[in-house]
Amino acid sequence: MKWDTLDEEPCSLSRTVAVVGDRWTLLILRECFLRVRRFEAFQSSLQITRHLLSERLKKLVRFGILRRVPYSETPKRYEYILTQKGLDLYPVIMAMVHWGDTHMGDERGRPLLHEHKTCGKLFDPVMVCSECGEVLHAKQVHVHAGPGRKEAVG
Amino acid sequence: MKWDTLDEEPCSLSRTVAVVGDRWTLLILRECFLRVRRFEAFQSSLQITRHLLSERLKKLVRFGILRRVPYSETPKRYEYILTQKGLDLYPVIMAMVHWGDTHMGDERGRPLLHEHKTCGKLFDPVMVCSECGEVLHAKQVHVHAGPGRKEAVG
DNA sequence: TTTGACAGTTCTATTTTGGAACTATAGCCT
DNA sequence: AGGCTATAGTTCCAAAATAGAACTGTCAAA
C-alpha cells in the first residue's frame, strides 16, 4: 500500500486512516479537544519530539482539521484551533475513549469522566442508527457497494 | 513517549491508540468486519507485507481482539476471528467511516452504504448521550478527572 | 546586556516498514 | 515417486519514519 495516496482509496475508512491513522495524530487531537492550542503546550504534555509535532501540525492544517491562527504579531506566533472538520472527529475520539474505558481499564478506575452539559449527567457515548435510533451492533449491519465503490471497481 | 507502555497511561484514548493507533491495524480490523479471516485473504486485499501482517495479527491476538482458531488439522491452519472485545471496536470503525464519508468524499459518491437490518434502512452512525439520547457535540461536554486520573497524578 | 519564552529547524542514531525471496506442511495429479 | 499448488508464515536487506538532542531567530522583561 502507498500511504501517500491512501486518502484517494475508494474506502472511507482508508481516507480517515490517511489523516489520523498514525501514532501521534490522535493524541494531538485529544489535546485539541482539551483546549490545548500552542506548540509548547502540545510538546510538553505529549513529550512528542518537536520535529514530529511540527510535521503533524502541518499535516492537520493541510487537511483542514486545524487552523493556524496568529495570536501575537511581534513576534509572530500562532496557535492551532479545530475547524468544523476537526470538531467532527469528536465521535471518533469518544468512541476510542469509550472502548478504552470498557476494555483497557485497570483497578484505578476511569481516568476521565464526561458530563453532558445538556442533561447534566455523567454519560457514555453510544452509537445509534440515524434512522431508527437503535443502538448499533456490527452483526445487524449489512454492507452494500455504493456509487464510489462501483465506479472504482469497474 | 514510550510506545511500549502507552497502554498503561492514565488515559483511555492512549490505551486505545496503543492497540489500534498504527497505520495497519485499523485496516486489518475493517477486513475483519467484512468477514475476512485468513492470512492470505488479509494479505491480498490489503497489500500489506506478510511480515507486518504476521506481527499485527499476533498483537491483536495478544490484546484479545482476535482469536486464532484452527480450521484445519493437517496441515495446521488457523483463522482470525473477532472476539467480543474486537466486535466492540465497531463504533470506532463506524465513526471513522462516517467522518470519511462526510469530509473526505469525492465526486464518485460513497464507497459503501450501510443498511440497518433491524429497521431496513440505509443509515449513518450517530453518537448520542447514553443518559438523554441527544446527539453529542464536543462543546456540550465537560470533562472531570476520574479516580484513575487522580490516583495517577497524585 | 543578559535571560527567558516561544515556535520552530537541523542533525545523527535507532526503529519500523517495504519488498522480495525462502521455509514448511500437505493434498492432488501424472 | 516426482512435481505442482495452496496456505501460513519467517528471513533478510534496503528504505523510510521516529527519537533525542542541540541549534536558530524573534522579541519582551530584568
pLDDT values of chain A reduced to their tens digit, one per residue, 154 residues: 778 889 999 999 999 999 999 989 999 999 999 999 999 999 999 999 999 999 999 999 999 999 999 999 989 999 999 999 999 999 999 999 999 999 999 999 999 999 999 999 999 999 999 999 999 999 999 999 999 998 876 5
Query: Interhelix angle for A12-20 vs B90-103, to 10°?
Result: 90
Q: State how far the alpha carbon of B37 is from the alpha carbons of A152, B30, B51, in Å.
A: 24, 11, 17
- As ranges, strand C nucleotides with an atom below 7 A of a protein CB are 5-11, 16-21, 25-27
pLDDT over 80 (residue B13): yes
pLDDT category of residue B154 using cuts at 50, 70 and 90: low
What is the domain range of residue A139?
A: 90-154
pLDDT value at position A90?
A: 98
Regarding whether A83 and A33 lie in a shared domain, the answer is yes
pLDDT tens, B95-114? Answer: 999 999 999 999 999 999 99
pLDDT value at position B81?
A: 98
pLDDT value at position A154?
A: 57
B134 within a domain of the structure (yes/no): no
Regarding whether A99 and A144 lie in a shared domain, the answer is yes
Query: From CA A56, how far away is CA A71, in angstroms rounded?
Result: 20
Q: Three-state SS for A85?
A: helix
Regarding whether A79 and A29 lie in a shared domain, the answer is yes
Give yes or no for a contact between A23 and B22, defined as CB atoms under 8 angstroms apart.
Answer: yes
Domain count, chain A: 2
Phi then psi for A136, rounded to 5 degrees?
Answer: -90, 135
Regarding whether A77 and A6 lie in a shared domain, the answer is yes
Cβ of B3 within 8 Å of Cβ of A23? The answer is yes
Regarding whether A104 and A136 lie in a shared domain, the answer is yes
- As ranges, strand D nucleotides with an atom below 7 A of a protein CB are 6-12, 17-22, 25-28
